[in-house]
Structure 1
Amino acid sequence: MAGPARRSTGARRNAPRNQQRQRRVREGGDVIAVLARAVREVENAVKRGRVTPTVRAEFQAIALVLREERARVQADSTIGDTRRGEQLKRLDGIATILATTAVRESGLLALLADEAVASDAAKALKREMLAAAGIETAEEEPPPPVQAEAAPAAPERKVVPQSVISRQLANPFLAPDFSAARPTVARPRRLLNWELLTPLLNSFERAGGGAPACMALPFPSSQFTPAGSELMPHQGQLVAAAAQGHRTFLLADEPGLGKTAQSLLAAEAAQAFPLLVVVPNVVKTNWAREAARWTPHRPATVIQGNGETIDAFADIVVVNYEVLDRHVGWIGDFGFRGMVVDEAHFIKNKTSQRSQHVLELSERIRSRVPRPLLMALTGTPLINDIEDFRAIWQFLGWIDDEKPLGELMEALEEVGLTPADPGFYPAARKCVIDLGIVRRRKIDVAADIPARRIADLPVELDDKAGRSIRAAERELAARLVKRYESALAARESATVVEEIDHELVRKVAGWELKDTTTKATGENVFSMMRRIGQAKAGLAADYAAQLARSAGKVVFFAKHIDVMDTAEETLDKLGIRYSSIRGDQTPTARQKHIDAFVKDPEVAVAVCSLTAAGVGLNLQVASNIVLAELSWTDAEQTQAIDRSHRIGQTEPVTAWRIIAAQTLDSRIAELIDSKAGLAARALDGSDEEVQSSTDVQLEALVALLTDALSPAGAVSSR
């Protein structure tokens, strides 16, 4: 034992002095102590909601040092297994704090990725941490420039749908004309040597309470509104601005104020077609529906997966963030004259792939099209701090990574001030706002919108659950058809009925409904609606999270416990705090959850049982409601909405009804609405009988059977 020990000691004596000192310091645990202090500072800052650029840089620096220290401890053969285990355990504790902190703020998660690019600030803080632990580090040198021919470029992941190829082949002589794009002319600038981006961002932090948050807008225009539709005045103002030549907008209206309609009609006013629309997955079907309503003469197509079903000849192309990566290639060369990014706060992290793709497409469009229409839509322009503006401003072409561009730079030059002048900040802020920031709150335009309204949000169930639901619906329809045909064949009359016997259809639907309540019949209208609710739960919760980030507190209603469970799991993954109000709670527990939602600003969503929380609650702290499952009656739906729409509510209330497109869900939504009209007339003194939930269930089966018996339905069932 003495020999090896002496050799080990001799080896340490021969090691360079700085390596000896680093080993002594690290074995003493100083690096871990520095990391422990730093991670607690970051954790406390995130809990307080103060996630500044400095906090993000410190977070990334901790991750860098932690990763290197863990690798060093594992590879160090000079320490025993016990000592190594102790150090790894302490490092794991720091890693756990780092991960739980990142869950609170989704923007930090990307900084933990191995491929995340370390910022200069993070590198500097890393050196400071190591210095605090007594470890000297060499100053990092910039990497040498890479020659173009040094290494082949990584192959771009490309998908080119067949429809796009067909469009290109249809008229190969009319490729997009990019020659008219306005060239950039470099001119001497008074502010050329000033650092301007930080002062511009600071100008928003320094703004007083009375500072304007919206550009001056012209008198509303209804010139481009299709017949049968009507814009609200605040919507018409933005359309008028586009008609007068304005081409970039950060449209930051609160949810429920019709940003989709404004964007589509602004594109019409600007003749910005073909138009690219990048959206979250949960709203892409709604965009196609809204396009059919507001621009009915403009065909719209939605990219699903690899795009096998898209229509490349459409004027409006809708794509969700999740599949954008595989379509960037052909989209960039398509010749779009306008681009809308919905929920634009999704691109605030410029290191994320989706942000880079959006910025790349924006740059391609701006370089090839003279004055394209670019619109960033968000109810939450700032998630954590003013730095979140950077990616959105860059998408709009107002800035690049280093400086203001184009119109913004010209406007700042015309101000005649520098960041050293006291009046620079309010003047600079106005320059940015005048470029196209439009922000209206519900309370500001309350006279324009109804005090209570229901907005349907159709979603596509295009996964395995969606296919299963459609198959089950076909099974139910087939059983109804078989019953109808048996009843028709059993008639004593020899009269041949060539068309649908609607009286018999209603009888068959009635028999089915009666059997559903008395015996097992396989798939039925109740089990179908429950399955649809389960399939919608995650999408509905995701939309509730978006609303919570955009407009504050949200009430989420569901009928079934498993739907509530799925919604709460989704909110947990998204880092959204919620209260859960259910029928099986004690009065004390129930009140605790209600108080948390009403009084705690950190609790953003109340996940409520439609039956347990639909009556007797006061949730007017929220003006947005998500109805994840349909009621069987309009009255039950209205009672839920009235938890927020009640005396004391100062803002218009919007109920977002999540509808599964092309399923029984959409039929029942239409039936509920039609029955609501009958009920309203009855309450107003009409002799019309108020309808019950049984009527809706019966009419749903009638509609299902009638469609199955029609020629189109018979073909689709085969």
Structure 2
Amino acid sequence: MPPPLQPPRRAAGASDWKAAVAALSGGLTADAPAPDTVADSPEARTTMGLLFELREQTPRSADRWRGATAVRASATRPRAGAYRLGVRPVLRSDSGKWVKSTITWSNVGYQLNRLNLNVEQHRWFCQFVPLHRVDRPVYNGQDTEWLYLDEFESPLLWHLLAEAVRLGIGLAGSHKDAQVTVGTTATVQLDAALTSTALTLSPVLTIDGRAHPVGDAGSIGAHGVYTYALGANPAIVLAPSAAPLSAEQRTLLGSAGPSGLVVPAGEVDEFLRGYYPTLRRGVPVTSTDASIEFPPPPPPVLVHTVSFEPKQAVRLDWQWQGDRDEEAETELLGRVADAVPGLPAPADPDAPTVTLTGLPAAEYTDKSLPRLGEVAGLRVDLVGAKPDYRELTATPQLIVTTVETEKRDWFDLGVLVKIDGRSIPFDPIFRALAKGRKKLLLVDNSYLSLTQPVFDRLRDLIDEARALQEWETGLRINRHQASLWSDFEDLADETEQAVSWRAAVGGLLRLERADTEAAGEADAADAAALPGATPLPAGLNATLRPYQVAGFEWLAFLWDHGLGGILADDMGLGKTLQTLALLSHAVQQSAGPQTGSSVSAGSLPHGPFLIVAPTSVVSNWLTEAARFTPNLRVGSVSSTQATSGRPLAEQAEGLDVLVTSYALFRLDAPAYQAHGWAGLILDEAQFVKNRTSQLHRAARDLDVPFKLAVTGTPMENNLLELWALFSIVAPGLFPSARRFTEEYLRPAERKVRSQGELIERLRRRIRPLMLRRTKDVVARDLPAKQEQVLRVELDPRHREIYDTFLQRERQKLLGLMEDLEANRFIVFRSITLLRMLSLDASLVDDEYADVPSSKLDALIEQLDEVVAEGHRALIFSQFTSYLALAAARLEKRGIRYSYLDGGTTDRPAVIDEFKTGDAPVFLISLKAGGFGLNLTEADYVFLLDPWWNPASESQAIDRTHRIGQTKNVMVYRLVAADTIEEKVMALKDSKAKLVQAVLDDDAVFAQSLTADDIRGLLEP
């Protein structure tokens, strides 16, 4: 390495050029004190200026300890200290001169009103001091009048100076007639000239192409330079540098020595080989006269040091050797990335050392290092003994045993895994699976993949099992996990099973067979609800339709046998009334032969019934109960125990029915679990369809003798949602989500010949425990419902914007389809953007506010006729921002409307306003209006944006097409032509087959939204 050198101060001759070059390469920087702060202030009028002055520093000494720390530089006075470029605020006097007045950097923030300053200019000065202080210590010095640009570390200075010109802030010099100029670009470099006797390296400073002496110059931070001229024609020129200045470049500025470095002709080769590569990294070196050709830099070498440490740890270091070359380094890094994608550390010497432990260390050593050793330009150095990491690849074998414990709900599990002749306890495998790990490292440095099919099944089982901390005393299975042991049994090569858990679900299977045999060819649910089988409860204040009587009898059958089920009647057929009839029957039955007008307190042996419903529907249950079953004592919970200060048991005391919301049920799950209940009713039970959610687990784990799910949409997207509901109301009917998928979904995907048999088997298993009737079968007296799709052409400007966004999103998303689950959030965000753009371009960006919305034009055109003829309409959209645009158009048209979305605070009042008022239009968000509404006052429905979930649209339409409607219902779907909305319509039709296949007919059923579905949505 060349020796460290000092900046040149005298001519560099043949004997000392090496030291001079080294000094130039070593470059030093100096710290400088930071200025004081300023504050902000309001408007004024006096013009302000920025005064520039070259100031000579006068540092303290033993015999000079007071007085100024710097004085104005002078051409007539010998220079005794370093020069720095100072600036301070000044004001323009009435005579047009710049005067210091009393304004300084320390008080400028307080002078706005007193000195009648220009507001914008004053604000500029208040910004100057904080920006000057960036990355500098804050302290108060004696020289408070001046700030030094030499210390200005922020390159935003140049933006400030440009802004000063715009604001009319004068840039003045303190010398008479001094000129202050701000240039555009400055460069600092060495110019090489080779003669027959020597190589001369001369420092060159240029500003906007004009050369300036480097001796009369200084640096402004690392981002700019200034030059000065004293004497008869004083001038100051400053400009930003073309690139950040190195320490070596800054050393060249202000040098008082001769103009160049001289390398004797005989030593030029030595300079080029040993010193030039180091020098050029700090200072650009050129040859304007082309008298010398510099050698190309050697290619860089990337050294990768791998240190093997105790406890299965590997430390990784990266370091470049040789001359740095961005293009060559980028190419080498590309080869490294191709060899080992996703390196655990960036190949940069400034990057921190990375230490891998455990499995990542093993995989890196076993898989990555051999590939890295083959990369040209990369050197791998190993430190320490390399462990013998190796992967076990044989197919695992499982041995499973169970032993009953003294606790009724628990079984001990013993699981042993054998791979390549090694016995591996299940506990470390279980913990790795529970934490979502893909591989497992063992103590003997071997490791195995957990992504094999057998472990995939175990991972599914663990998703159903209790949290990891529940297993701290050993591996156990809870009886509430409906068939977890059965799934272990399916996976195991050897088992020794406990059979007591089977008794908990065996009765369900026997009952299914008994019901089917008793019914013969008839539907088992109908056989369970024979006319007259169970009398209606006394005090029921309603006249039930025949299908509602049959529904009540079926519910009573489940209650009497201690079975759970799903009441899945179509929307608008009175599921709430049938459920209230059951509750009244159960309360009266528990009270004995008494059938009077009231039921004694505490008549239900297990406590009151618990109804869990969406927050917006809780009040509806209270209203309907008071109307149809006044004999029931019904109460509700409006807040958590912590908020109300009342224990749940106290709130439920003396009631027959307690109604709460899903949110409160989830938040106070332990309290609900601790209280005794006669049964659990889940209204709008699609809220618990997600089998991995806390809400689902709370409903599933609630220990009650009877559970009923009430929903018109037991399945919205895929069959696993139906499985999730049955796992709550009838645990054990289906053994596990994994087996359910294997037995039904995957064969359907493969389109096997036995698909029809699979569907029939599924319907046969759910038949006794789910009752579903559709309006077209049991409510034929309902008026007709006509549906029509209105295809809307986009405005040309709207079309151009949509097509541009579509192409951009297609390019972004199609590469993410291979791993849809990992990228689902990004994919759906882009799809949502395209759906919003199909509606109105301004929903995506306000700059498109003037782009016409063809769909709103079509809506208003339809509404004009609807309103004129005295009809009333419901308008649905999933986007509240679009509903706001529709509301604005209605207001402009003079059409009165009501409005409901998820943020509506008084939902009942808004609904009543529409039902009892005369506003012809009701704007409703699809989420807020999907359930709990009876709006038969309207007979027109407009769906502004389609969705691929047919159940959501059906629920919206059935707000008006339900029992009590006397008019024909007209449904219009507004679809933007040649957009993603048409793709959504096609996809929605295919998804509708899923519900029809299992619940209504034998059509082919599909899975949830797939990568192919999304690719179809993005087709142009």
Q: Could you tell me the TM-score, scaled by structure 2's length?
A: 0.29
Q: Which has the higher helix share?
A: 1
Higher Rg of the two aligned structures: 2
Q: Which has the higher strand share?
A: 2
